[in-house]
Amino acid sequence: MGAIFRRETLSYFTSPIGYIFLAAFYAFSAFSFTTTSLQYGTTRMDGMFQQLMVILIVLIPILTMRTLSEEKKNKTDQCLLTAPVSLGGIVAGKFLAALLIYIMGVAITVVYAVVIAAFASPDWNVIVGNIVGLTLLGAAFIAIGIFCSSLTENQVVSAVISFITMVALYMFSTIGQVIPDDFIEDLMPNLGPVWRTVIIELIVAALVLGCFFLFGKKAGILIIGFIAAIILGVFAAKGELIPKIFDKLSFNERYVGFTLGLFDLSNALYFISTVVVFLFLTVRVLEKRRWA
Amino acid sequence: MIEVQHLSKHYGDKKAVNDISFRAEDGEILGFLGPNGAGKSTTMNILTGYISSTSGKALIDGVDILEEPLKAKSKIGYLPELPPLYLDMTVKEYLNFVYDLKKCKLPRNSHLKDICSLVKIEHVYNRIIKNLSKGYKQRVGLAQALVGNPNVLILDEPTVGLDPKQIIEIRTLIKKLGRNHTVILSSHILSEVQAVCDKIIVINEGKIVADDTEDNLSRKLSSDHKLTVRIEGDRDKALKLIKDIKDVVSTDIGPGKEENITEFRIEAKEGKDIRRELFISCAEAGFIILEMRSSELSLEDIFLRLTMGDGLHDNDGGED
């Protein structure tokens, strides 16, 4: 893992990608900082931190697009996969390298805070919370980007897929607001609650079966999946669950809390578990490729 | 030591590798011979743990590659068909990366220096790999496989794209390495396998069609009863003389360049040795035999006969 981390970090600076990412990040954040904090003469920085989320959606795919797709294309993955390193080690090494470059970008916000402090003392707790939130958000985006990069040999395709995924996650909160609470009833007005539950159970069961075939036929996935499906289905039939799920999954909703200075542990855990889930999925994709 | 038991790999309906079994002992160079698409690279990729087999076992020094992949992989040096090089690194950076990747315990600088002098890449050590010629890239690939001094070396077409001088150098190097490593080498160039390997496996359409040392293969398929003879003297008289020898089935006249010298291709009944009689008859008649050899099959012929389904592997060249 250490070897891969070191090589990957260096490779960001032997190719232009590391420089482009950092330069773009510094430029956009500086612009945002000037227009939202300096020009308004305020010590609040939440405007910049909120805008940075949108900037990340554009920049993170550039950072992660080549991590695994390039290896596959140049067949250098043969070197990694036949070396005595675990798949988890390979993915973790690549993730940490991208994270390091990202943190080098985020570090600039400390400079902005110091600039503000020259005028008036800002609320340091809020700023620390903001930086932690931005780092966690970026980590989750990087994990998604790496996962997308494992799906294809083509860098551009990888960047586009991760861009679309991130935009979707960003828009989840809006989608959640659009969906009315009783939309399931509207969808199937002529059916009683029992039938609605059955239909939803069937849909969820089909999804579980899909996962079962996709991620190696393991009985564990099937059992846990079906138990989750039954519980989910019962709640979903009541209606208000679906908009709620969108709301809970929304990156925007989770991140805004940080920018307002609210450090909610569940939000932090949400981003951390996103990282874990997507890195795990990446390992599964690599594993599956060996068996194909 | 490498042991492969009933290895199979299916891609959907296609059987890329179909029930292959073989062994390579320590200090042995095993040649893997087959046309393109025969399943050589697939087998090697399974042995090195890059892909998984559908069924069967592959043991590296007694360690199963699927059950203890990390332990087995640390015993292998692998040069794939396309050397897995990071083009934006220098040779030095790349070899140091591989050294770290393999968690090598040998003293770093002297070990890497030894490898570089072995494959003769010292003078490109600080250059970026992208700018190296094909031959040097291949050598860096070989150097990468040698890092950590693994017991088992698996080389997939190691001389592809090299010029004749480099080919000879690499072959000499592989022979040298073969003394204290187990080497598996694949090729579709017959003379290469002939020149380097102790033992040859011929593979076609995912199946082993012959597994033996080269001598045995030749003996099995050779035909002692077929002779090529060059005789000085009158052609027609000589022809008549040969035809009169007992057990001769047919006689052809081969291409002749020198005056008064004829090349005959004689076929006797199977299992009969007519060399002595031929000599005596010619001597008595005053013909001079300039050359006499039994027309043994070259590896080329063996290969063609085995893979073209000449019916040979049905009786004696089959999977043993």
What average pLDDT score do residues B41-45 get? 91
Banded pLDDT at B76 (limits 50, 70, 90):
very high
Closest CA relative to residue A138, chosen from A251, A9, A37 = A251
pLDDT tops 60 at residue B221: no
pLDDT tops 80 at residue A236: no
Angle CA B178–B182–B185, to nearest 5: 75
Closest CA relative to residue A242, chosen from A205, A200, A191, A188 = A200
| DSSP conformational letter for A15 | S
pLDDT tops 70 at residue A65: yes
Closest CA relative to residue B213, chosen from B222, B203, B223, B202 = B202
> Residue B184's Cα: distance from chain center in Å?
9
Rounded CA-CA distance A106/A113 in Å is 12
Which of B84, B86, B102 minimises the CB distance to A84?
A: B102
What average pLDDT score do residues B257-278 get? 79
Percent of chain A having pLDDT more than 70?
Answer: 91
Neighbouring C-alpha atoms within 13 Å toward the C-beta of B301 = 11
- The per-residue pLDDT for B276 is 84
- The per-residue pLDDT for A5 is 94
What average pLDDT score do residues B74-96 get? 92
Measured over the CA atoms of residue A234, residue A239, residue A241 and residue A242, the dihedral's sign is positive
| DSSP conformational letter for B123 | G
* Residues of A with Cβ-Cβ distance to B50 under 8 angstroms: 78, 81-82, 290
Closest CA relative to residue B142, chosen from B51, B190, B80 = B80
Q: At what angle do helices B134-146 and B108-119 cross, to 10 degrees?
A: 140
Chain A, nearest residue to B154 by Cα: A82
- Give the CA-trace dihedral at A259, A263, A140, A252, to 10 degrees: -40
Burial of B252 per CB tally in 10 Å (0-12, 13-18, 19+): exposed
Chain B, nearest residue to A287 by Cα: B51
Phi, psi of B226 (to 5 degrees): -105, 125
Between chains, do A75 and B74 touch, taking CB under 8 Å as contact? Answer: no
**B101 and chain A: CB distance < 8 Å anywhere?**
yes
- The per-residue pLDDT for B312 is 43
User: Residues of B numbered 198-237 whose beta carbons fall under 8 angstroms of chain A's beta carbons: which are they?
Assistant: none
Strand B2-11 with B226-232, pairing: unpaired
Between chains, do A82 and B88 touch, taking CB under 8 Å as contact? Answer: no
Between chains, do B88 and A15 touch, taking CB under 8 Å as contact? Answer: yes
Q: How far is A75 from chain B (nearest CA, A)?
A: 6
Concatenating the DSSP letter of every residue in A187-206 gives: HSTTS-HHHHHHHHHHHHHH
Residue in the block written with tokens 């094909």: B134
Closest CA relative to residue B170, chosen from B196, B131, B206, B204 = B196
Provide the token pair at A273. 């578990």
Give the model confidence (pLDDT) of B121-156 as tens digits. 899 999 999 999 888 999 999 999 999 999 999 999
What average pLDDT score do residues A263-290 get? 91
Full set of structural domains in chain B with CATH: 2-219 (3.40.50.300), 223-294 (3.30.70.3100)
> Residue B80's Cα: distance from chain center in Å?
16
Rounded CA-CA distance A125/A123 in Å is 6
Contacts of A139 (CB under 8 A, 6+ apart): A99, A102, A271, A272, A275
Closest CA relative to residue A64, chosen from A113, A26, A21 = A21
Q: How far is A219 from chain B (nearest CA, A)?
A: 20
Banded pLDDT at B160 (limits 50, 70, 90):
confident
Banded pLDDT at B317 (limits 50, 70, 90):
very low
Contacts of B102 (CB under 8 A, 6+ apart): A83, A84, B74, B147, B148
Which of A4, A10, A82 minimises the CB distance to B49?
A: A82
Q: How far is A46 from chain B (nearest CA, A)?
A: 40
**B93 and chain A: CB distance < 8 Å anywhere?**
yes
Residue in the block written with tokens 């012959």: B210
Between chains, do B52 and A291 touch, taking CB under 8 Å as contact? Answer: yes
What average pLDDT score do residues B303-320 get? 50
Which of B73, B86, B88 minimises the CB distance to A82?
A: B73
Q: Which residue has the higher pLDDT, B181 or A233?
A: B181
Number of A–B residue contacts, CB under 8 Å: 67
- The per-residue pLDDT for A111 is 93
Concatenating the DSSP letter of every residue in A50-102 gives: HHHHHHHHHHHHHHHTTTTHHHHHTTTHHHHHTSS--HHHHHHHHHHHHHHHH
Contact B58, B46 (CB under 8 A): yes
Please give the mean pLDDT across all residues of chain A: 86
**3 state SS of B134:** helix
**B135 and chain A: CB distance < 8 Å anywhere?**
no
Residue in the block written with tokens 């019916």: B311
Between chains, do A6 and B100 touch, taking CB under 8 Å as contact? Answer: yes
**Per-range mean pLDDT, top range of B129-143, B221-235, B280-294:** B129-143
Q: How far is B50 from chain A (nearest CA, A)?
A: 6
Angle CA B213–B217–B223, to nearest 5: 150
- The per-residue pLDDT for A103 is 96
Comparing A184-188, B115-119, B151-155, B255-259, the range with the smallest average pLDDT is A184-188
- The per-residue pLDDT for B1 is 86
Buried b (16+ CB within 10 A) or exposed e, B95-122: bbbbbbbbebeeeeeebbeebbebbebe
Chain B, nearest residue to A81 by Cα: B50
Please give the mean pLDDT across all residues of chain B: 83
Banded pLDDT at B233 (limits 50, 70, 90):
confident
Contacts of A127 (CB under 8 A, 6+ apart): A45, A109, A113
pLDDT tops 50 at residue B318: no
Provide the token pair at B124. 């490109």
Boundaries of every domain in chain A: 2-178+250-291, 183-239
In a mutational test of the A interface, the residue from B42, B50, B68 whose CB has the highest number of chain A CBs within 10 Å is: B50
**B144 and chain A: CB distance < 8 Å anywhere?**
yes
Between chains, do B101 and A291 touch, taking CB under 8 Å as contact? Answer: no
Distances A73 to A25, A66, A78 between C-alpha atoms, Å: 28, 10, 11
Burial of A291 per CB tally in 10 Å (0-12, 13-18, 19+): exposed
Give the model confidence (pLDDT) of A119-175 as tens digits. 888 888 888 889 999 999 999 999 999 999 999 999 999 999 999 999 988 888 777
**B88 and chain A: CB distance < 8 Å anywhere?**
yes
End-to-end CA separation in angstroms for chain B: 19
